[in-house]
A and B are shown apart, each in its own frame.
Chain A
Amino acid sequence: MKLIKLFACVAIAISFVSNAADKAVEMPLNMTKGVTQISAEVYQLHMTILIICAVIGVLVFGVMFWALIHHRKSKGAKAANFHESVKVEIAWTIVPFLILIGMAIPATRTLIAMEDPSDADLTIVVTGSQWKWHYQYFEHDIDFYSVLATPREQINGRWDKGENYLLEVDKPLVIPTDKKVRFLMTSDDVIHSWWVPDFAVKKDANPGFINEAWTKVDKAGIYRGQCAELCGKDHGFMPVVVIAKEPEEFDTWLADKVEEKRKAQEEEQRLLAMNMTMEELMSEGERVYLASCASCHQPNGMGLPGVFPGLVGSPIALGDVDAHINIVINGQTGTAMPAFGKQLSKKEVAAVVTYERNAWGNNTGDLVQVKDVHEFVKRSL
C-alpha cells in the first residue's frame, strides 16, 4: 500500500513536470473497480492479493535489509556457520502453502460466478475481423460494424488529438443496464480479444469457434476498451466502445435502429434510378477508402510491398470494372482481402471503386454507379 502511495506521489510529480503537447488526461493508477458486480469482485481480489504480496515483500526484504545493514563485514560482523535447519525450512514451505489456499478460495468463488452465463436477457454475437468489430443482436434483426473513428490526421500528428483519441468508434455497441447480456465471440480471420475493463470481460474471438462471456452493467454510461490479442498491423486501432443505456432508452434505440435499416433500404432503391457525378462519387469514395481500405492499401494507394498489394497502376484498378467490383464485394480467397459486400452499401461500393480507378494517377475516367453494382450483384446470383 505504501508502495502505491509512494508511486502515486511520483506519478503526480511526473504529470506535473511533463509537458505533453496534447490535452493531459489523468491516468488511474490502479485497476478499475468497473461498473458490474463481477468487476468489483475482481478488483477486490486484485487488492487482496496485492496486499498479501506487499506484506510478504516487506517482511522478506525487511529481514534482508536488516542483515545487509547489521551483518556487514565493514562493521566487523563475523560470519556464523549455520547452513540448514529442518524446522525453519518446513515452516517456510508450509506457511506459503497455507497463504495460497487462502488466496485460492475467493478466486475460485469469483471464477465460478464469472463462468455462469445462464438466464441471459439479450445475446450479442461479437465478431472480430482485421481490424474492426461486428455486432449482431441475436434476438433482433440488427447488426453493424464498429470501426475506429479517430481521423488519420490525428494519428499522424497533423491535427491535435481529441479527448478519446484511439478509443472512439463510428457505431458503438449499445446494451441495456440491469440486464444480463451474453456475448458470443467469434472471428472472421485471426484471433482477436474483446476487452472492456469496466466489465472485467476479456475473451478471445477464435475463428471457427464460439466463446461465451456475459455482463450485467449497473450504471448507464460510455465504456471503452480495446482489442487485447495481437491481430496484425492495426491491432492497436480497433477499440471497443459500449454505451449502456437504461432499459427504456435501450428499447427506443432498438426501435430507431430497425427504422433506420428500413430507410437505408429505401434510399438504396432510390439511388438505383440516379446517376451521381464524378465529384460526388470521388468525395464519398475517398471517405470510404480511408475508413475501410487505407489501413492495408495505404492512403496513397501504394500498399505495403510483400504484405498488401498497391492499387496504383494495379491490373485490378485499371482492368475490368466487374472484376474490380467483384473483388471488393467478395474478397480474394487465400489472401487478407475480405469481402466488403456485407459491410458496405451499394452506394459505398460504387463510390470506392470509382475512387480507386481515378485517384493517385489511375486516370481511367470510369464512373461506377449504384445501378452498376446492383446489376453486378444480380448477375452473379
Chain B
Amino acid sequence: MTTLTENPNVAATADTHHGPAKGLKRWLYTTNHKDIGSLYLWFAFIMFLIGGAMAMVIRAELFQPGLQIVDPHFFNQMTTVHGLIMVFGAVMPAFTGLANWMIPMMIGAPDMALPRMNNFSFWILPFAFLILIMTLFMEGGGPAFGWTFYAPLSTTYSSDTTALFVFSVHIMGISSIMGAINVIVTIWNMRAPGMTWMKMPLFVWTWFITAFLLIAVMPVLAGAVTMVLTDKFFGTSFFDAAGGGDPVMFQHIFWFFGHPEVYIMILPAFGVISAIVPTFARKPLFGYASMVYATASIALLSFVVWAHHMFTTGMPLFGELFFMYCTMLISVPTGVKVFNWVATLWRGSISFEVPMLFALAFIVLFTIGGFSGLMLAITPVDFQYHDTYFVVAHFHYVLVTGAVFSIIAAAYYWLPKWTGVMYDVTLAKAHFWCSLISVNLLFFPMHFVGLAGMPRRIPDYSLQFADFNQWISIGGFAFGLSQLIFLALLIKACRKQGKPVDAKVWDGAEGLEWEVASPAPYHTFSTPPKIK
C-alpha cells in the first residue's frame, strides 16, 4: 500500500533512547509494544497448549463408547474450560499480540498510544486464567455449564466456584477492553503523516473495526456474568422464572455479545490473509476498498443475527425469519472477501513459502466453515443441525482452520522480522503438512457424525458413532502433537538459530514494517516516516 520517499529508519538500528532492561524486570515493567506483543503471543501459545491438552482429554474419553477416563462432571468441566481458554486465552490474546507488534510498525508510530495501560492489560490476563484453572482443583470443580454458561444451569444448578468463574471472566473482559481502546487510540491518533485511512494496511483496518466490536460487546458480557453472579448468590431473578425472570433472556444477552465475538476472532484473520496473499502472489490486493467495506458490513450485521444461535428456544415465526434472512446476508460480504483473495491470486506470480501455505489452507478451509455456517442459518434445517457435532465441525473449521491457521500464518510471516533470522523451514513445512492432514481428519468427519445425530457435549455415545469418533480422536492427537513441532521451531527461532534476514524478508512484501531492519529495533519510527 505504502512506499517511503525517504527512510531514516533502515540504517537507524542504533537506539536513539535505550535498550531493554535486563532480566525479569524487563518483562514485568515493559511498556514497549514489541515486548508486550511478544508476551501476548507467548501467553496465547501456552494457553493454546493448555486448552489443547484439555481437548486431548475430551478426545481420549470419546475414543471409544463407554466411560473410561473421566466422569461426566469432569468431562463437562473440560469442554467448558477448553472453550473459555481457546476463545479468551488463545485466539484473542494472540490477535492482540499481533496488533501490538505490527500496528505501530504498519502505521509508522513509535509505540502504542497508551503504553502503561498496555502493560496492565497484559499482566492481569495470567491471573484471570490462573483463577479459572484453579477452580478445576477445588471442591465442586470448575465451571461445567459450557462456555456459553446458559442459566439456570450456571446459576441455581452450578457449584459455588461459579463466583470465581465470573471474577475471571471480568478480568478477561477488562483486559481485552483495554487492549481494544489502545488499538483505537493508536490508529486514530498516531498514524504517520500521509498515512490516510484508505492507505492503511488491511490488518490495521480489520483490527480497527474489531476493536470497536470489542468495546461494544465485552461490557455486555460483563453485564451477563454479573447477572449470573447476582442470580446465584444475591437473590435476584433475572433468569429465574419463579421470580418473574426468563432463562431465554440470558441467551439473548449472551449471544448479543457472543455473535460479534465470533467476528472479533475472525476479522483480524482476514487482515492477516490480506497481507500474506498479495506478498506471495507478487500482486497488489484485489479490491482493497471493497475489503474495507465488506469488513465494516460484516461487523454491523453481526449485531442483528444473534438469535440464530437460539432457533430451538421457541421463537415466533417472524423472529425466526428475520434472523434467518440477516444471517444469510452475512455470506455476501464474506463471499466478497474470498472472491477478492482468489482474484488476487489470479495471474499472480505465486510461490509457496510457509506463510502462504497456511494462508491458502485458510482460504479453502475457512470457506468450508462458511458453507456449513450458511447451512446452519437456514432455520428449518438448523432444527436438525442445532447442538450436534455438525455445529462443532462448523465452528472448529472457522476457528481452528480459520482463526488459528491465520495466527500461525502471521507468525511464519512476521517471525523473521521479529527475530532477525529465518526459522527452520523444514520444520515449518512439516508443521504445515502434519497440521493440515490431522486437522481435517479431526474435524471433517464431525460433519457426518453430526448429521447422523450425535449431540455435542456428551461424554459417551451410542455404538453407531464409535468408528468415526475413533478416527476423530486419532486426528485430534495428531493435531495436538503437530503443534509441538511449532513449539520446537519457535524456541529455535527465538534463540536466533538460523540465517539472518534482510529488512525486506519476502521479495513481494509491501508496507512500512518491511522498511525497518530485521530484527526490528527496540524502538522504531521515533521520527515518523514520510509516506507518499
Contacts and interface: CB of A to CB of B under 8 A. Distances in A.
Q: Do chains A and B make direct contact within the complex (CB under 8 angstroms)?
A: yes
Interface of A: 7, 11, 14-15, 18, 20-32, 41-42, 45-46, 49-50, 53, 56-57, 60-61, 63-64, 67-68, 71-74, 77-84, 88-89, 92-93, 96-97, 100, 103-104, 107-108, 110-112, 114-115, 130, 154-157, 161, 163-167, 185, 189-191, 193, 195, 197, 200-204, 206-209, 211-212, 225-237, 304-307, 334, 336
Contacts of A197: 384, 453
Given A83-B286, A93-B332, A202 B462 contact: no
Given A84-B289, A156-B66, A67 B371 contact: no
Given A42-B384, A83-B283, A103-B328, A27 B467 contact: yes
A202 B310 CA distance: 12
A208 B452 contact: no
Contacts of A60: 338-339, 342, 367
Nearest to A26: B464
Interface residues of B, number: 106
Interface string B456-481: 11111111111110110000000000
B462 A164 contact: yes
A361 to B, nearest CB: 22
B73 interface: yes
B219 interface: no
Contacts of A336: 157
Contact of B351 (A28, A73, A229): A73
B360 interface: yes
A64 B381 contact: no
A234 B72 contact: yes
A226 to B, nearest CB: 5
Interface stretch (B126-134, B313-321, B490-498): B313-321
A167 B454 CA distance: 11
15 contacts: A14-B471, A29-B448, A68-B345, A73-B349, A79-B281, A79-B283, A96-B332, A103-B378, A115-B317, A203-B312, A206-B248, A207-B247, A228-B312, A304-B141, A306-B140
A68 B444 contact: no
Interface string B273-312: 0000000011111111110000000000000000000001
Contact of B242 (A26, A67, A208, A236): A208
A73 B508 CA distance: 11
A23 B467 CA distance: 11
A236 B461 CA distance: 7
Contacts of A73: 282, 349-351
B468 A71 contact: no
Contact of A84 (B286, B368, B471): B286
Contacts of A71: 281, 345-350
A191 B72 contact: no
Contact of B157 (A49, A165, A190): A190
Contact of A155 (B67, B378, B453): B67
Nearest to A116: B317
Given A100-B332, A104-B325, A232-B144, 17 more contacts: A18-B466, A18-B471, A26-B464, A42-B384, A72-B349, A79-B283, A84-B286, A97-B332, A155-B67, A166-B461, A200-B380, A209-B314, A230-B153, A233-B76, A304-B73, A304-B141, A306-B141
A321 to B, nearest CB: 29
A14 B470 CA distance: 10
Given A27-B452, A63-B342, A228-B386, A110 B380 contact: yes
Contacts, number: 322
B325 A72 contact: no
B140 A89 contact: no
Contact of B467 (A18, A72, A304): A18
A334 B240 CA distance: 12
Contacts of B314: 185, 203-204, 206, 209, 211-212
A190 B149 CA distance: 12
B119 to A, nearest CB: 37
A107 B348 contact: no
Contacts of B363: 64
Contact of A89 (B160, B281, B290, B374): B290
A89 B333 CA distance: 11
A236 B381 contact: no
Given A57-B368, A71-B347, A92-B335, A236 B380 contact: no
A233 B345 contact: no
B198 interface: no
B153 A232 contact: yes
B356 to A, nearest CB: 10
A165 B462 contact: yes
B139 A14 contact: no
B171 to A, nearest CB: 23
Contacts of B445: 7, 11
B375 A53 contact: yes
A42 B328 contact: no
Nearest to A91: B339
B503 interface: no
B451 interface: yes
Nearest to B346: A67
B150 A24 contact: no
Contacts of B150: 190-191, 229-230
B100 interface: no
A78 B283 CA distance: 10
> Which residue, B161, B347, B368, B388, has most C-beta atoms of chain A within 10 A?
B347
Contacts of A110: 380
B323 to A, nearest CB: 11
B398 interface: no
Contact of B464 (A27, A78, A80, A203): A27
A71 B280 CA distance: 11
B146 A100 contact: no
B86 to A, nearest CB: 17
A78 B445 CA distance: 40
A232 B381 contact: no
B329 interface: yes
